[in-house]
Structure 1
Amino acid sequence: MRKNNVIWLFASILIVISLVACGNEENPSKSSKDSNSKSNSVENSTTSTEKPKSKTSDDNNQVEDKDKKETEEDVYTASSDKKSDPQTSGNLLNKNKVFKYKDGSVVMTLTKAEFTKKFGPSNASPENDEAYRETTSDSQTYLHLTGKIKNDTKNSFSFGNKLGEINFSLLYDGEHEFQNISSAEEENGTKLGPSNIDALTEGKIHVYFQVPKPVSKTNKPLILTVILGDEPFEITLR
């Protein structure tokens, strides 16, 4: 009887040992399976992250190809904005120019020289078109001088014409010469009249040259010559 108990005890121990061994064998298998699953997940993750890198690389290549193409080309872009021609050029005189004639009894002062398409007397009404001078050709403009003459002599003083004692000429680029037309203001500055100043008076004057428009648009030399009697005085306008 006692012998049988020993045998059963020994058999029970073997069964327990056998069960423990089986449990240990299943765990490594499960661990291996989990490990393989994690490995596959990492690989899949790596693969998915590599795709954007490949796309970025392609984009960079496209940018490099575009830059390379641009460096091989000269690109010229025309402006769609049409610039209007300037109506005036500003004052070409850096300061007032004073000329004394007949021992100072006649004094002429030029205050402004500018390119313009239209001008008129100082007090002219804008609605009075007849008071203004305007070029009729788009290819022409005026070089317009303004100033005043003080006449302290006993006689009317004439200027800017064939019989005038003061005259003007304009030389462009050393070879193109232009002749003037002159007027004096009258009727309180509302009208342009003949080019003479009454005795013992002072009058506002206008001297103008009609010139081709290119004269106003270049930086080529422009010389105004003022002739007092027979004596010329040159003024560099540009």
Structure 2
Amino acid sequence: MSYEINLSGQVAIITGAAKGIGKAAAEILTQAGAQVVIDDIIDPENAKPIQDEIGKLGLRPHYIQKDISKEENCRDLAAEVLDKFSRIDILVNNAGVVANWEKSFDIHVKAVHFCAEAVKDHMAKRGNGRIINVTSTCVFSGGTGIPQYVATKAGAYSLTRYQAKTYAPLGILVNAVMPSVIMSEMIMTRYESIEEMEAHYIPLMPVGRIGYPEDVAKVILFLCSELSSFVCGEIIVADGGRLAVG
């Protein structure tokens, strides 16, 4: 007997979902039947092709342009989703930046807290909800060469533990995924070509390849599903084995 992850009837907010891991998560959750809400800061006109593309996989995602570094915008985001869809089942705190210390802290730490708090009461009233935070293995390795990125992603790691302990009695499961060596604009800032980047990383990867956004999205899907109903406060490493055995 086969098993299918079915998120039909559920509504998922994914922050920073116009590209990369967030977009891949929007695609896979849409394929699983969820109504996805993409939050990002790009112009709504530029979001339409992304909505059209993902809409071919299932329900057309809704786009909301909110800067979640501001607490009131996080509250407004949740309120707009509830007004349109009457429920929020899933929150994926994925938004990430390479920026100065203040902006990095605003997005990687404060926004993770603000967005979670914005959906908490609704999820608690229904006695059910899933929150997935996206952090990074640089918390352990000290990699990337960007100190404010490392330090603030550690904040997201710690917040996951705090939220898991605080929200679980309300019926809300909070977990995180910790990627590394994922094809992205950030990783390519250090290399002149994909070939150069792969030549550096692939020999270091036990699985023999770098990761892609969909590799992380699959872990997010698991954490959104009933398969993870006894998983709480976990930070799942998705790095092709590099951190543990590389």
TM-score (norm 1): 0.23
Structure (1/2) with the larger helix percentage: 2
RCO comparison, higher one (Cα < 8 Å, 6+): 2
Point out the structure with max Rg over C-alpha.
1
Q: TM-score with structure 2 length normalisation?
A: 0.22
